[in-house]
Amino acid sequence: MACALPAAVVAELTAQSRAGTTGTLSAVGDPGGLLRLDGGRVTGAESPGAPGVEALLLRSGRVLEASWVAAYQAGASHGRLALELVRRGLVGAAELEAVCLMALFDAAFAIAAGTVEECRWAPAAPTPASADAPTPGPTADWPPERSGSAGRGGREPWTWEVARVDVAELCGETERRLVALAELPTPVRPGRDRLSTAPAGAPSGSTAPGSTAPGAGSHGAGATSWSGTGAWGGSGLRAASGLRRDVLGLADGRRTARDIAFTLGRGVYPVTVEASRLLADGLLRIGGPSQEGGEVRALLAPRHAAPPAVPATGASSGGAHASAGSGPDAARSGAPAGGPFAGPVQLPRRPSRASGS
């Protein structure tokens, strides 16, 4: 894992910052992300690898969904969502600023902790007064769906009025986080390593059903249950509390640290650090699911795997689709009959396109 933002990103950011420009730097990669600049200062960072301000406030339960929607309706169209949130007393001004800054640094961390293949600068869209100016290159191939409804491109620029940091500060903070993570004995890659609770034999071994930590709440209900007593019983580990407990409750072998951060509405950096510590303590491990609940299942045989008699009869009414539609029924009831007359009798039972177009 790199210990700083990729050089290409830093170079582009620094150049644009010196020029005092406004626009968006998009880092293409896994998970990649966007960095917004306004007048040479960073006003926002968004990445699929880190929860945004909205996710942090809503998923954590800090702001209720209904209140958020009301504030959004009232303020978003005028670019005053932040003002509305504070005016309605949903969050304090300082708190909102802190959350916005945290989301910004967190997204930069997620971008830097992953891989960046390419770095594209897109100047801000021309103001309505000069809208007839030709669109610059990078924005032309920008998929509209991505910037519009993807939830990241179009929904969070409102944070520009709240958080605003210098490029040097952003790079410094990102580096500090990456270095701190790399110094842990077993750093977890936030978007890559799938976490599961340690197998039986480890301190957390025998799990008692229904002992999922209360903090994990509804999202932890069906996940790998983790026994509190087991976890600090054997090796004198400190009692798991807060984030530590939540991370343990959600590590089901499918989720990465990034997924857990989204589920909890916490920053991906603190979750990654906590997961790395749990890994070092032997309570978590990287890799496959420890229980069958998280396994991939193929529950029905594919339709073409029906007994040979069925496709043969289906051929009379047009190939794969017909046999696909009548597959399961035919397979179930067709087996005892088995004879050459079985197929035609069953064919009309289900028109192949009944529930489609």
Partner 1 sequence: MSQEALVAEIRGLRERLPGITDAAVAAVDGLLVAADTAAEVDPESLAALAAASLGLARRTATVSGRGPLRRTVTYCAGGYAVIYAVGDTALLTVLGDEGLDLGRLHLETGALIERLNDLLCGRAT
Positions that interact with partner 1 (CB under 8 A): 30-31, 47-52, 54-55, 58-59, 65, 68, 143, 145-146, 149-152, 191, 219, 221-224, 252, 254-256, 258-259, 262-263, 291, 293-294, 296-305, 320-321, 324-325, 328, 350, 352-357
Rank residues 179 and 305 by Cβ distance to partner 1 and give the closer one.
Answer: 305
CA distance 68 to 350: 47
121 strand-pairing partners = 25
Amino acid at 96: L
Rank residues 54 and 274 by Cβ distance to partner 1 and give the closer one.
Answer: 54
**Contact in structure between 177 and 109 (CB atoms under 8 Å):** yes
H/E stretch holding 171:
helix 167-183
Smallest separation, CB 218 to partner 1 (Å): 8
Rank residues 167 and 275 by Cβ distance to partner 1 and give the closer one.
Answer: 275
Q: Is 34 helix (H, G, I), strand (E, B) or coil?
A: strand
Amino acid at 218: S
The position carrying tokens 């600090």 is 232
Length of the chain: 357
Torsion of CA 12, 180, 238, 203, to 10 degrees: 80
Smallest separation, CB 14 to partner 1 (Å): 27
Rank residues 62 and 176 by Cβ distance to partner 1 and give the closer one.
Answer: 62
Smallest separation, CB 34 to partner 1 (Å): 11
Which two tokens mark 73?
A: 């309706």
Give the residue from 119, 258, 106, 262 showing the smallest Cα distance to 174.
106
Smallest separation, CB 166 to partner 1 (Å): 26
DSSP letters along 256-281, please?
Answer: EHHHHHHHHT--HHHHHHHHHHHHHT
Smallest separation, CB 63 to partner 1 (Å): 11
Smallest separation, CB 223 to partner 1 (Å): 6
Rank residues 84 and 259 by Cβ distance to partner 1 and give the closer one.
Answer: 259
CA distance 246 to 177: 21
Residues in Cβ contact with 173 at an 8 Å cutoff, skipping those fewer than 6 apart: 105, 108, 165
**Contact in structure between 207 and 283 (CB atoms under 8 Å):** no
Rank residues 130 and 357 by Cβ distance to partner 1 and give the closer one.
Answer: 357
CA distance 251 to 255: 6
Smallest separation, CB 188 to partner 1 (Å): 15
Smallest separation, CB 148 to partner 1 (Å): 9
Which two tokens mark 57?
A: 């406030």
Rank residues 133 and 300 by Cβ distance to partner 1 and give the closer one.
Answer: 300
Smallest separation, CB 299 to partner 1 (Å): 5
Rank residues 258 and 285 by Cβ distance to partner 1 and give the closer one.
Answer: 258
Rank residues 16 and 204 by Cβ distance to partner 1 and give the closer one.
Answer: 204
**Contact in structure between 79 and 93 (CB atoms under 8 Å):** no
The position carrying tokens 């590590």 is 251
